[in-house]
Amino acid sequence: MTTIISGDGTITGLTATGISAVQNLPATGTITNLTTTTISDGTNSTSSTNCIQGSAKAWCNYNGTNGTIRGSYNVASVTKNGTGNYTFNFTNAMPNENYSAVASFNRNYNSSDGYGMGLFVPTRTTTNTKIYVIYSNGAFYDQEYVGLTVNSN
């Protein structure tokens, strides 16, 4: 079955089942409230729930030594509150504070600053999450690579 939708403007409230491909989708325009149970590229398919609930809602690759964001999604800015103390501010708020925030960072192994490193997420709100980078000697440290991934509904 072929379904052809043409014209300019916005399509709202469309429920689609059994559509295997979309061709000639214009570069501009908006589709809102598209409901589907399965998404397929013709070879592989997945439940639309996986795309909605299984995707990162935010991520960031941050340089803690010079304060720059190398790349990000849904992270508007990072506030450096002090050495090894960062607040990642979301562009779009999380639906609630029950999200998972996973962080990572590197360490210069040639230093004598201690061997174990800790990563601590002391607070999280719907609009931001805070990360501490701590070495085994208890001191806070800036790291060149600080990563954050947030998963939520």
**pLDDT, tens digit (0-9, with 9 covering 90-100), for 132-148:** 888 777 888 888 889 99
Q: How many CB atoms lie within 10 A of CB 38?
A: 14
Structure tokens at 70: 């190398």
Q: Which of 15-29, 45-59, 120-134, 139-153 has the lowest mean pLDDT?
A: 15-29
Minimal CA–CA distance to 102: which of 85, 113, 88? 88
Residue 48 φ then ψ, to 5° = -65, -25
Per-residue pLDDT at 139: 84
Domain locations in the chain? 10-53, 56-151
**Separation of CA 150 from chain center:** 5
Average predicted confidence (pLDDT) for the chain: 78
Of the ranges 9-18, 62-71, 121-130, which is most confident? 62-71
C-alpha distances in Å from residue 30, one per residue of 10, 25, 81 = 5, 10, 39
Per-residue pLDDT at 122: 76
**pLDDT, tens digit (0-9, with 9 covering 90-100), for 72-116:** 999 999 999 999 999 999 999 999 999 989 888 876 555 555 545
